[in-house]
Structure formats: C-alpha cells, structure tokens
Amino acid sequence: MKAPSTAPTSAIIDLNHLRRGDIYRATTSTGPITGEYLGIEAPHGDRSILLRHPAGTESIALCSVTSIQLAAA
C-alpha cells in the first residue's frame, strides 16, 4: 500500500521559541500580521496565538498560520 502523496493542508508551527512581549510577524493565508506576542488561547478547542498591535489584539488560529518570525527591531 502506497502512502498518500499529498502534503497536509496546514503546517505544524513550533511555538516553543515565542517569548511573551517580543514582536513577531505572523504570515497567514489572508496576509501578514505584526504585533506583540501575548500568549496562546484555545477558544472552543482551537489553538490561537494573540498578537497585539496599535489597532487592537488579533486572535490568530494556528491552522491559518504559515510562518511566524521575530520582527526586526
């Protein structure tokens, strides 16, 4: 039996390197979001990261994050 040749639809993002208070740029399917990392929440069982920026705080579902990087100071 052959293994499926299609890749999973969402990558697993390693959150171990994120530090509260640092500024990160998260790239999602709808575009980039830059903000201060506040932590993680799990509303209704879906894990999301919280990024605060001047317009407010974004709760970004991990399934929509394609990459996350420390923003340049």
Could you give the CA distance from residue 12 to residue 22 in angstroms, rounded to a whole number?
A: 21
Report yes or no on whether pTM surpasses 0.85: no
Amino acid 28: pLDDT: 92
Segments making up each domain of the chain, as ranges:
23-70
pLDDT band for position 3 (cuts 50, 70, 90):
low
Question: Per DSSP, what are the bridge partners of residue 19?
Answer: none
Amino acid 72: pLDDT: 75
pLDDT at 40 over 90: yes
Q: List strand residue ranges (DSSP E) for the chain, in order.
A: 23-28, 31-41, 48-53, 56-61, 65-70
Amino acid 8: pLDDT: 47
